[in-house]
Amino acid sequence: MFRHKIKTREDLAQVIGTPPRAKTVIMCHGVFDIVHPGHLRHLMYAKEKADVLVASVTADAHITKADHRPYVPQELRAENLAALEMVDYVIVDLNPTPIDNIRYLRPDYFAKGYEYFAEGIPPRTQEEMDALETYGGEIVFTPGDIVYSSSNLIELQAPKIAVDKLLSLMESEGVGFGDLRKAVRNLSGVKVHVVGDTIIDGYSECTLLGAAPKSPTFSVRLERTELFTGGAGVVARHVKSAGAEVVFSTVLGEDPPKDFALKELGEAGVDCHPVIDRTRPTTY
C-alpha cells in the first residue's frame, strides 16, 4: 500500500528531477527510531514549506548514539515513515551523514529541528548548510514546540516488535513461512556434528536487603539460581529438537557444571563426546 514510496536515491533522483523544478522538494533526515509527536510536528511543518516531502533515514550501520540502537531496523523505520500521509518518499541513507545525498538529490529545502539552531549552529549542521549553498538550496528550521526523545521512550518501555522484525527480515531475504517449515522438515534424520564451547548460563534471583553503608552497592540474599546449557550446547539442543541426529564435541572441566551440561544434553537426546580437561573449569 505504501512501500512504493520507499526509493533508492537513484530512483528518487529520477522522480523529483533537478532544480529548477515544477514542484519544490524538502528533505528531512534522522534516525526516526521511534516515531513520536515531535517527529510528526517536524514532518508536518516541513510539508507545508514544499510540494514534495522526502524523509531520509539513517542506515543501521551508522547509528552509534546509544547501546543496542537502533531498536527498530532500517527497513521498518522506512516503512513507518512511508505510512504517513504527509511523507511523499523515503530513502535509507547509506552514508554516515546526509551531505552526500544533499549534493546528489539537491532538494530545494533541508529541514532541521529547532534544537539545531537555538544554541548556535553545530559544526555538522554548518556542513549541511554549506552543501545546500553550493547549488542554492535553503535550510529550514522547524519549531521545537514539542520535544521528545526516542532513546528515552525506548528506555521507559521498549515496544515489542520481535514479530515485526522477523517479518521484515524474511521479506528482505525473500523467505516465507513455507520455506521455514520446509527447512525444518528437511532436518529430520540429517546427521549434524556440532563442535564448540559449552557455556553454562546462570540466572540468579535475589531479595534486596539494603544498601552497604560504606560503598555504593546493595546487600542481597540469594533466593534461587536457574542454570541453562548455552554456547554451542544450546545450538546442539535446538538442532536436535528440529529433528536432526546430533553429535556434540566440546571441552568441559571436571566440575559440577560439567555434570549439569551432560545431564541436560543427554536428556535432550544429544550424543555428547566431551573432552574433560581438569586444568580448566567448564565455562560458566
* 233 contacts 263 by C-beta, under 8 angstroms: no
CA 10, chain centre distance (Å): 25
- Do 230 and 153 belong together in one domain? no
Give the distance between the most distant pair of CA atoms in the chain. 78
Cell readout for 284 is 560458566
Cell readout for 265 is 544434553
Among 238, 245, 244, smallest CA distance to 264 is for 238
Is residue 106 left, alpha or beta, with left meaning phi > 0 and alpha meaning psi from -120 to 50?
Answer: left
Taking the whole predicted model, whether its pTM rises above 0.85 is answered as no
Residue 171 domain-assigned (yes or no): no
DSSP structure class, residue 251 = E
Tell me the CATH number at 115.
Answer: 3.40.50.620
Among 255, 244, 249, smallest CA distance to 233 is for 249
Residue 32 domain-assigned (yes or no): yes
Residue 282 domain-assigned (yes or no): no
For residue 200, CA distances in Å to 76, 205, 264, 268, 281 come to 35, 16, 11, 16, 11
Residue 170 domain-assigned (yes or no): no
- How many residues in total does the chain contain? 284
Among 62, 139, 149, 64, smallest CA distance to 97 is for 62
> Residue written as cell 553550493?
134
Question: How do the pLDDT tens digits run along the chain, 284 residues long?
Answer: 788 999 999 999 999 999 899 999 999 999 998 888 888 999 999 999 999 999 999 999 888 766 557 888 899 999 999 999 999 999 999 999 999 999 999 999 999 987 777 678 888 899 999 999 999 999 999 886 666 666 666 666 666 777 877 887 888 788 888 998 898 888 888 999 999 999 999 999 999 888 877 778 888 899 999 999 999 999 999 999 989 999 999 999 999 999 999 999 999 999 999 999 999 999 98
Cell readout for 194 is 556440532
Domain extent, residue 74, equals 3-165
- Do 35 and 147 belong together in one domain? yes
